[in-house]
Chains A and B, each alone.
Chain A
Amino acid sequence: MIVADKKPVEEIIEFVKDDKKILILGCNECVTVCEAGGKKEVGVLASTLRMYFLNQGKDVKIDEITLERQCDHEYLEEIRDVADEYDAIVSIACGVGVQFMAEKYHSIPVYPGVNTCFLGATEKRGLWTERCQACGNCLLAITGGICPVSRCAKRILNGPCGGSSKGKCEIDSNLDCAWQLIVDRLKALDRLDDYEKICPIKDWSTDRAGGPRKVVREDVQI
Chain B
Amino acid sequence: MRLNYPTSIKIIRVPCTGKVDVIHMLRAFEKGADGVCVIGCMEGDCHYKAGNFRARKRVEQVQKILNTVGIGGDRVKMFNLSSGEGPLFAKYAKEIHEKIMELGPNPIKLKKNKAA
A residues in contact with B112, CB < 8 Å? 54
Q: Are B21 and A50 in contact (CB under 8 A)?
A: no
Asked if A57 is an interface residue, CB under 8 A from chain B, the answer is yes
Interface of A is mostly: helix
Within 8 A of B (CB), among A52-85: 52, 54-57, 59
Q: Are B69 and A48 in contact (CB under 8 A)?
A: yes
Asked if A188 is an interface residue, CB under 8 A from chain B, the answer is no
Interface residues on A, range: 10 to 19
Asked if B108 is an interface residue, CB under 8 A from chain A, the answer is yes
Asked if B3 is an interface residue, CB under 8 A from chain A, the answer is no
Docked pose: A51 CA to B66 CA in angstroms: 9
Question: How many residue pairs, one in A and one in B, have C-beta atoms under 8 Å apart?
Answer: 44
Total interface residues in chain B, CB < 8 Å:
19
Q: Are A48 and B65 in contact (CB under 8 A)?
A: yes
Docked pose: A183 CA to B115 CA in angstroms: 67
Docked pose: A9 CA to B22 CA in angstroms: 15
Asked if B30 is an interface residue, CB under 8 A from chain A, the answer is yes
Q: Are B30 and A55 in contact (CB under 8 A)?
A: no
Residues in chain A within 8 A of chain B (CB atoms): 9-10, 40, 43-44, 47-48, 50-52, 54-57, 59
Residues in chain B within 8 A of chain A (CB atoms): 21-23, 26-27, 29-30, 65-66, 68-71, 107-108, 111-112, 114-115
Q: What are 6 A-B residue pairs whose CB atoms fall within 8 Å in the complex?
A: A43-B26, A51-B30, A51-B108, A55-B108, A55-B111, A59-B115
